Chain A
Amino acid sequence: MKKRDDKNILRKIMAIRGMGQVITVAFGLVVLCIVFGILNPVFFSNRNIANLLRQIAPILIIGIGQSYVLITGNIDLSIGSVVGMSCMVSATMMTKGVNPWVAVLITYICCLAIGIINGQLVANCKLPPFIATLGTMTIARGIAQIVNNNYNTDSIGAAAKGFRDFFYYGKNFGVFNTIWIAAVLWIIFNFILNKTRTGRYIYAIGSNIEAARLSGVNIAHITTTAYVVSSFCSCTVGLITCAISGMGTMDAGNGYEMYAVAASVIGGVSTLGGQGILLGTVIGASIWGVLQNGLQFAGAPVAIRNIAIGVIVVVSVLLDVIIRKGRPIRKKKNITTVNKAEIKA
């Protein structure tokens, strides 16, 4: 009896959308960890694992945002610039004596505005998401530069200690706060995606936008929601970046949009929309982090690390395309059965 229950649980887990791909990638992650551990045993030291998790956390957070957007069948290229904008806006205000928490609030408002603009441009103005977010990417980077007259800010000072501890240096239950932030955000956004109507609508838009529209789904609202989530996540990472360095740097978040796409796509989120789970994004971000960290320990130059990540992204997308093409046309067994005797009658 117990065996049968176990089988049912396993079947339920495997029935979750995209779980097969996540398990495959998770297996790859385990293999990577073992290889790097063998190459350099320090890889498994407590200190390195703590650092590794802290490295992974920001990538996971922006990966969550990008996953939301990718599942709707769009893309957000402004993530890196919003990270930079968030970092510069908050740091500039703090250096001007604004209360750090007020600065955080204003920064969130600014970044969410970028998300709303992205959503409106894509959903209402029908701009291709690539072009729309390319535009806001440049705008956000421009704001990051102009906010402190084209200079990096000075140190945000001792008054912002609480802010820096909250976002990066502090610990709760022996775990760095950055990891807690990532975990809490993941739980919230995973819940929204899997257990709420909004989540279903996000999948619906990415899978069949016409069917969703005809079923009364507000396409513009849901698309904007996805972009706002992405901007919210980017803003959080910007604040973490500010907390790490204790100052605002204009080039903060450069290239982060690529990392976000990498984390999502490696984790099985489809670039064609409608498919993917946030558990996959955790695995994707972890692979990114482990590769960076492990290759560093192995003494590989930055160029090699970049090549390795690039290759993995391409292979992941290729896998997605192959899997979509190769999906069985029909399942083996009909789930619908009609009383045959009655039909004959």
Chain B
Amino acid sequence: MKQEIFRLERVTQIIDGVTVLDNFSMHIFKGEIMGLLCLNDHGKEALIKLFCQNVPIHYGHVYLEENMVNNYEHSSMSYNPVAVIERQSRLVENLTVVDNIFVISKGFKGYLINSNFLNAKLKLLTKDLNISIDGNELVFNLSPFEKCVVEILKAIVAKVKLIVIRDISNFISTADLKKIHKIIRYYTKQGISFLYICNHHEEAFKICDRISIMKNGKVIKVLNKSEFRDEVIASFSLDFSHIDFPLVSRESENGILKFQNISTDNIKNLSFTIQKGECVVFLDMNNTVLTDFIELINGEIKPLSGQIFFKGVNYTKTLKHLKNNICFIQENPIQSMLFKEMSYIDNLCFLANKKLSFWCPMKNIQKSVIQEYEKLIGEDIYASDIKNLTPKSLYNLVYYRVHLYKPDIVILIQPFSDADMYHRHHLVQLIDQLRKKHITVIILAVSISDCLVVANRLMVIEQGRLQKQYSSEKFSYLRANL
């Protein structure tokens, strides 16, 4: 008989008058990988917190190893033996790997630190995983994948019962994700349970034993392994396939952006040409070249060799001048790219102001912008405080700001990460709007996510080199294999 580790029984939690968890039930067995597919973000944060800490709930019960640890009558606020692995690392960057795994841990009893002893313990711990880690390496120097491994090891040493893996494919490359899955499977055999939270069913199908589908803080369906089929999921997900793409403009030899044998510390001899109006996805399989790519375009670093052409002109030595023609939309832009103290219209015109002369009457400009964009944005354009707007409206703001500025190229960094299904669907439409204005779109990603829905071309980069290129006709084949 399977041993139960965690059980949430008809849990309802209301925070600030909003029902974040609605009659939520879930049980996780020992050594099981339970998937959680969130159709929207509602309740996700509250659920993770509830797993970690016995916070007050309005109805229901929480059981840990069949002992009730939390119920609607009494919540002790105590912590459960649960570790969360997410983008925001919980490691101390200035300490070494062994310090993080063994010393900065609740269970560490010794007072004196013996690095050799701890390194030996680490070797023992990693022996069966086929992993070799230098215990004396500072965590700061590790890659996201390596940090993730260290966090798993730290959780194992701390003897947690459940490890919550949250949206890991947003910051771990496709190649590294396979390695992480292998480690997860190893520890499930040792009796550790995992809650694998992700946005894409394709990802969950590969690793999970069962999958709960959550929407608006409620489990709407639990899938067993035998039900892991696209058609089962189809009834719960939005249809992305209907979106039409504007045609790419006529190809020219130099295109709008051309890299010719570009090399940096991490990029090796990269050559490609992007046409005006095209949408190209760069899939960085090892998560090593994106930073270099951004810094190159931004003029922060210079290539070690090779040349960069923009509209046929060689910009290799004057990369900083590209800034006026190329825009960036960062990852999780509603957090990172908006000015919370400014009004909606000030935010919207922020980039476009660069094109205006100092003496231009701002009020008149803003009035005409409102006239033009009100039909696209709606009433929100008049908002003086953007903090209370919905994420959808804030995504509008970010993308229409670029739409208004009309750069030649916009570079989107992991546009679909941290966005739930509804937001991803909306993002596809926003990217489409940019393309209708003949803005070239470059998407930089470490996981494929929904990028293929909008792309004309996919370039796969492995170990800093361009390995393969796929045109949109071959995407269906790719979806099955990546």
Contacts and interface: CB of A to CB of B under 8 A. Distances in A.
Interface in B281-338: 288, 291
B76 interface: no
A195 B93 contact: no
B182 A200 contact: no
Given A200-B99, A207-B94, A215 B104 contact: yes
B94 A274 contact: yes
Interface stretch (A92-100, A169-177, A323-331): A323-331
Interface string A181-216: 000000000000011111111011011101110111
A274 B134 CA distance: 21
Interface in A213-245: 214-217
Nearest to A17: B94
Interface string A311-339: 00000000000000001011110111111
B103 A335 contact: no
A338 B90 contact: no
Given A197-B110, A204-B104, A212-B104, A343 B92 contact: no
B182 A338 contact: yes
A219 to B, nearest CB: 12
B178 interface: yes
B138 interface: yes
B104 A217 contact: yes
Nearest to B84: A214
B94 A335 contact: no
A73 to B, nearest CB: 11
Nearest to A342: B130
Contacts of B232: none
B89 interface: yes
Interface residues of B, number: 40
B291 A200 contact: no
A171 B405 CA distance: 75
Contacts of A342: 130, 182
B93 A208 contact: yes
A107 interface: no
A164 to B, nearest CB: 36
B179 A197 contact: no
Contacts of B404: none
A67 B123 CA distance: 33
Nearest to A270: B94
A74 interface: no
Contacts of A198: 111
Contacts of B222: none
A274 B113 contact: no
Most chain-B Cβ atoms within 10 A of its Cβ — which of A274, A335, A336? Answer: A336
Contacts of A208: 90-93
A211 B104 contact: yes
A338 B104 contact: no
Contacts of B112: 195-197
A207 B105 contact: no
A56 B105 CA distance: 38
A335 B133 contact: yes
B77 to A, nearest CB: 14
A293 interface: no
B236 interface: no
B291 A329 contact: yes
A211 B113 contact: no
B93 A274 contact: yes
Contacts of A337: 131-132
A278 to B, nearest CB: 15
A334 B130 contact: no
Given A330-B143, A336-B146, A339-B130, A211 B110 contact: no
Contacts of B131: 336-338
A105 interface: no
B158 to A, nearest CB: 8
A225 B45 CA distance: 35
B141 interface: yes
Nearest to B149: A336
Given A17-B94, A197-B108, A197-B113, A327 B140 contact: yes
Contact of B94 (A196, A206, A216, A331): A206
B365 interface: no
A329 B91 CA distance: 16
A274 B111 CA distance: 20
Nearest to A204: B92
Contacts of B145: 336
Contact of B146 (A17, A200, A214, A335): A335
Contacts of B143: 330-331, 334, 336
A312 B103 CA distance: 36
Nearest to B83: A214
A215 B132 contact: no
Contacts of A339: 130
A329 B178 CA distance: 23
Contacts of A15: 136
A279 to B, nearest CB: 16
A275 interface: yes
B95 A200 contact: yes
A206 B94 CA distance: 9
B227 interface: no
Given A196-B112, A342-B182, A336 B130 contact: no
A200 B104 contact: yes
A339 B129 CA distance: 9
Contacts of B104: 200-201, 204, 211-212, 215, 217
A247 to B, nearest CB: 42
A287 to B, nearest CB: 24
Interface string B86-127: 000111111100010001111010111100000000000000
A335 B291 CA distance: 19
Nearest to A338: B179
A329 to B, nearest CB: 5
A188 to B, nearest CB: 14
A339 B131 CA distance: 8
B141 A331 contact: yes
Contacts of A327: 140
B372 interface: no
A93 B15 CA distance: 60
A211 B133 contact: no
A275 B134 contact: no
Given A330-B143, A330-B288, A211 B92 contact: yes
5 contacts: A199-B113, A203-B92, A207-B92, A274-B92, A335-B134
10 nearest A-B pairs in the assembled complex, by CB-CB distance: A216-B106, A207-B94, A339-B130, A274-B94, A331-B141, A204-B92, A215-B104, A211-B90, A207-B92, A200-B103
Given A335-B146, A336-B146, A337-B131, 20 more contacts: A195-B112, A196-B112, A200-B99, A203-B92, A204-B104, A206-B94, A207-B94, A208-B93, A211-B92, A216-B106, A274-B94, A331-B143, A332-B265, A334-B146, A335-B134, A336-B131, A336-B133, A338-B129, A338-B131, A338-B182
